[in-house]
């Protein structure tokens, strides 16, 4: 006998189907996994070490810009790190700094905290939507309420997230839909 009973054991172990890592999935399956995880329009591929590589939907340098208005350094830096692969990122810790950036740069989207040191975020939202109606504003706050969410929606905010929030929810709000409805 070639190998005896050990051969059967080795053969059974080596022929057992093993789970395929995401990096080895066919392109369409790998993108589907990440589309479900991160929202529509955002697809990533993983390299052999299972680290996220550059997003496939944004191979060129980001052309859209986002302004993060947040008075706390930690959340502001975290948001900037998350969004930098997808957007040209600007940050401001006060309403005055945000207004100056809006005057000097083209901004497509803004995340806005309601509690700023120099001004109420809702008042800033009113001014911004009056002077720049094309600007998409997403409210991100830790002290939210149904009343403030409805007021933000009335003032033109496209989204309202409570801290801590799911990054996939933010990316879904920031990603333009592939097909416009209505």
DSSP conformation class of 136:
E
59-94 pLDDT, tens digit each: 566 789 999 999 999 999 999 999 999 899 999 999
Instruction: Report whether 98 contacts 135 (CB < 8 A).
Output: no
Strand, helix or coil for residue 30: helix
Element at 5 (helix H, strand E):
helix 4-15
For the chain, which residues score pLDDT lower than 70?
Answer: 1-61, 176-182
Query: CA 145, CA 154: separation in Å to the nearest integer?
Result: 14
Per-residue pLDDT at 61: 64
Q: Which domains does the chain have, with CATH numbers?
A: 8-59 (no CATH), 60-174 (3.40.50.2300)
Query: CA 114, CA 69: separation in Å to the nearest integer?
Result: 9
Per-residue pLDDT at 145: 87
Per-residue pLDDT at 144: 83
């Amino acid at each position: 006998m070639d190998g005896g009973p050990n051969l059967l054991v080795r053969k059974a172990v080596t022929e057992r189907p093993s789970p395929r890592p995401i990096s080895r999935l066919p392109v369409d399956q790998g993108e589907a996994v990440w589309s479900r995880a991160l929202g529509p329009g955002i697809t990533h591929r993983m390299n052999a070490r299972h680290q996220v590589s550059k997003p496939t939907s944004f191979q060129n340098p980001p052309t859209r810009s986002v302004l993060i208005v947040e008075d706390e350094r930690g959340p502001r830096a975290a948001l900037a790190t998350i969004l930098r692969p997808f957007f040209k990122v600007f940050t401001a810790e006060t309403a005055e700094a945000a207004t100056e950036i809006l005057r000097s740069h083209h901004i497509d989207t803004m995340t806005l905290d309601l509690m700023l040191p120099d001004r109420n975020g809702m008042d800033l939202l009113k001014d911004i939507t009056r002077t720049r109606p094309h600007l998409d504003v997403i409210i991100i706050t830790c002290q939210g309420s149904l009343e403030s969410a409805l007021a933000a929606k009335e003032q033109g905010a496209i989204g309202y997230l409570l801290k801590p929030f799911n990054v996939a929810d933010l990316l879904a709000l920031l990603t333009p839909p592939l097909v416009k409805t209505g």
